[in-house]
């Protein structure tokens, strides 16, 4: 394989956009194409996507990236896929047509089913088998809701006429015709036993899910199938798959236990590599599969913030306070502080470490002197505060003090936010030279499978630091701000 004239294509299917990126052997971006798609909100707290629009935009992005790079499809050595996780899609086995809109990871429609399962005493069973908390976030109760609300869909599933998958499976199927997933995505469904490393019959029964609809679980780095020739003009192996947050951990070369990354996207997701064994969290984090390179699983601790960059999108789209998300940094720097204003952006409940699906967004501390700039600064600070809660829980669970936080995602480009994150946690924040870490992780998984990269050492050598933010806030100031945040969260949770 001529590595100087061949490339890896990463498909990065996210919550709001479908992206495609071509990487060379040095892990450098050759071209990028990004296409947004519709967000569907049928009811408050409900979020859906059109699966066919996901596929169309992802295909258009991939073709656009190839065209922008001015290369031939035969120069693509492999395809890696990374995806928004937990989002639930069901489609017809015979035709490949979806039977319902995708139910997105943010969607809270199955809250009552979670309450029902908690009343039945299923919380500990689910935690022990899956490493997850009982929350509408995950795929399992979304399927339960779909089958209860649409009995005809459940009947078809029981007859073997339907397939279920998270977004990775949907893309694999459309590219190759293969019905498969990887352990990082399977571990987010609430149907997969991360200790036994298989779909669990007891959980399937509990959640009323027929086993026949499930995809085959294959290693994250390995052959999933071959993209059909008519899609790109050449047959290309699909050889790497991982959920977006695990892919970002891999892209940051966090290969040693204790290594940590935080992705600042629509939500915030903190992962710590815990090695070959899952760590049971005592502080409301998740145990999850990080990846499988074909030689055994690597696990991670994870904390999830549901609304991070999305709070800035809200200021822009719903509130009209910004014309562009990047403006938020300029406004935040106009004032010395938030003047005591705290925003708890619990638009779809609070994730880790609270796991409170009923709490809603709350603003406290407003006075007659509160300005637009104070409000925008408070929104940015809320992202850092929520991430701080995750870091503290992670340190307690692992018994390790975080030496640094490797950061990525769109909001990591906001220097005000990154400095405030370093200040409020007292921990260095490090940005990589290649910011598209999620897509890069998927590319590495695919490239390792086909020998494009030979080892993890090749990946380590490619990681380079672009910028570092060191803490500079006085401890007294930090402690006061953190105390105010905790009071704001308590206020939000008390308001029902």
What is the torsional sign of CA 76, 78, 84, 88? positive
Residue 118 domain-assigned (yes or no): yes
pTM score above 0.85 = yes
Within 8 A by CB and 6+ apart from 295, the residues are: none
The string of DSSP codes covering 21-65 is EEE-TTS-EEEEEEEE---B-SSTT--EE-HHHHHHHHHHHHHHH
As a dihedral over the C-alpha atoms of residue 223, residue 226, residue 231, residue 235, rounded to 10 degrees, the angle is: 120
Residue 58 domain-assigned (yes or no): yes
- pLDDT given for residue 333 in this prediction: 96
Query: Residue 1 pLDDT more than 80?
Result: no
Within 8 A by CB and 6+ apart from 116, the residues are: none
CATH number of the domain at 142, please: 3.30.420.40
- pLDDT given for residue 306 in this prediction: 85
What mean pLDDT is predicted for residues 271-300?
Answer: 93
Query: Residue 141 pLDDT more than 90?
Result: yes
Residue 186 domain-assigned (yes or no): yes
Gap between the Cα atoms of 449 and 433, Å rounded: 24
Residue 200 domain-assigned (yes or no): yes
Only one residue has tokens 């899956």, namely 130
Q: What's the pLDDT tens digit per position in 107-138?
A: 989 999 999 999 999 999 999 999 998 989 89
CB atoms within 10 A of CB 356: 14
Residue 93: beta bridge partners?
Answer: none
Confidence class of residue 4 from pLDDT cuts 50, 70 and 90?
low
- pLDDT given for residue 2 in this prediction: 61
Task: Give the pair of three-digit tokens for residue 272.
Answer: 């710590």
Show the 3-state SS of 454-481: CCHHHHHHHCCEEEEECCCCCHHHHHHH
Residue 406 domain-assigned (yes or no): no
CB atoms within 10 A of CB 2: 8
Query: Residue 305 pLDDT more than 80?
Result: yes
In this structure, what are the phi and psi dihedrals at residue 17, rounded to the nearest 5 degrees? Answer: -140, 155
Total domains, the chain: 1
Alpha-carbon Rg for the chain in angstroms: 22
Confidence class of residue 3 from pLDDT cuts 50, 70 and 90?
low
Gap between the Cα atoms of 256 and 275, Å rounded: 7
- pLDDT given for residue 261 in this prediction: 94
In this structure, what are the phi and psi dihedrals at residue 260, rounded to the nearest 5 degrees? Answer: -130, 140
Q: What's the pLDDT tens digit per position in 177-223?
A: 999 999 999 999 999 999 999 999 999 999 999 999 999 999 999 99
What is the torsional sign of CA 190, 242, 244, 430? positive
- pLDDT given for residue 435 in this prediction: 83
Residue 271 domain-assigned (yes or no): no
**What are the CA-CA distances from residue 43 to residues 40, 86, 225 (Å)?**
9, 19, 38
Residue 331 domain-assigned (yes or no): no
- pLDDT given for residue 12 in this prediction: 96
Pinpoint the alpha helices (H) of 282-371.
Answer: 309-317, 327-332
Confidence class of residue 389 from pLDDT cuts 50, 70 and 90?
very high
Report the percent of the chain where pLDDT is more than 90.
83
What mean pLDDT is predicted for residues 147-155?
Answer: 96
Residue 233 domain-assigned (yes or no): yes
What is the torsional sign of CA 179, 181, 185, 186? positive
Task: Give the pair of three-digit tokens for residue 270.
Answer: 């903190």
Task: Give the pair of three-digit tokens for residue 153.
Answer: 């869909």
Contact, 58 vs 102, CB < 8 A? no
How far out from the chain centre does Cα 383 lie?
A: 15
Peptide bond into 353 cis (omega under 30): yes
C-alpha distance across the termini of the chain, in Å: 61
Per the structure, the complete domain to which residue 182 belongs is given by 7-243
Q: What's the pLDDT tens digit per position in 398-417?
A: 888 888 999 998 899 999 99
- pLDDT given for residue 420 in this prediction: 97
């Amino acid at each position: 394989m001529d590595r100087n004239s061949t490339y890896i294509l990463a498909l990065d299917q996210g919550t709001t956009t479908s992206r495609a990126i071509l990487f060379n052997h040095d892990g450098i971006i050759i071209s990028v194409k990004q296409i947004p798609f519709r967000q569907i909100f049928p009811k408050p707290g409900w979020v859906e996507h059109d699966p066919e629009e996901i596929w169309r935009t992802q295909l258009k992005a991939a073709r656009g990236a190839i065209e922008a790079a001015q290369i031939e499809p035969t120069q693509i050595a492999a395809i890696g896929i990374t995806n928004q996780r937990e989002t639930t899609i069901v489609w017809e086995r015979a035709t490949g047509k979806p039977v319902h809109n995708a139910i997105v990871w943010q969607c809270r429609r199955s809250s009552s089913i979670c309450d029902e399962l908690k009343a039945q005493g299923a919380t500990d069973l689910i935690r022990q088998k899956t490493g997850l908390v009982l929350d509408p976030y995950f795929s399992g109760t979304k399927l339960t809701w779909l089958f209860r609300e649409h009995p005809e869909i459940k009947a078809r599933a029981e007859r073997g006429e339907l397939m279920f998958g998270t977004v990775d499976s949907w893309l694999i199927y459309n590219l190759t015709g293969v019905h498969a997933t990887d352990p990082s995505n399977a571990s987010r469904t609430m149907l997969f036993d991360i200790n036994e490393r298989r779909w669990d019959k007891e959980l399937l029964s509990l959640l009323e899910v027929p086993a026949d609809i499930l995809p085959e679980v294959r290693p994250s780095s390995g052959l999933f199938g071959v993209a059909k020739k008519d899609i790109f003009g050449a047959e290309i192996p699909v050889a790497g798959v991982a959920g977006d947050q695990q892919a970002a951990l891999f892209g940051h070369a966090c290969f040693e236990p204790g290594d940590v990354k935080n992705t600042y996207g629509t939500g915030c997701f903190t992962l710590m590599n815990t090695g070959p064994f899952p760590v049971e969290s005592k502080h409301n984090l998740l145990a999850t599969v990080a990846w499988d390179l074909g030689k055994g699983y690597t696990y991670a601790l994870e904390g999830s913030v549901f609304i991070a960059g999305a709070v800035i999108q809200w200021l822009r789209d719903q509130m009209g306070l910004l014309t562009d998300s990047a403006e938020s940094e300029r406004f935040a720097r106009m004032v010395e502080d938030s003047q005591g204003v705290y925003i708890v952006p619990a638009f779809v409940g609070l994730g880790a470490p609270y796991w409170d699906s009923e709490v809603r967004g709350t603003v406290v501390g407003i006075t007659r002197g509160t300005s637009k700039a104070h409000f925008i600064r408070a929104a940015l600070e809320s992202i850092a505060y929520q991430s701080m809660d995750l870091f503290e829980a992670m340190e307690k669970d692992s018994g390790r003090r975080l030496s640094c936080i490797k950061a990525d995602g769109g909001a990591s480009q906001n220097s005000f936010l990154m400095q405030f994150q370093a200040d409020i946690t007292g921990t260095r924040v490090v940005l990589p030279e290649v910011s598209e870490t999620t897509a890069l992780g998927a590319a590495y998984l695919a490239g390792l499978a086909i020998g494009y990269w030979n080892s993890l050492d090749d990946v380590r050598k490619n990681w380079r630091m672009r910028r570092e933010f060191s803490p500079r806030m006085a401890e007294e100031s930090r402690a006061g701000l953190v105390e105010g945040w905790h009071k704001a969260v308590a206020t939000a949770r008390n308001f029902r």
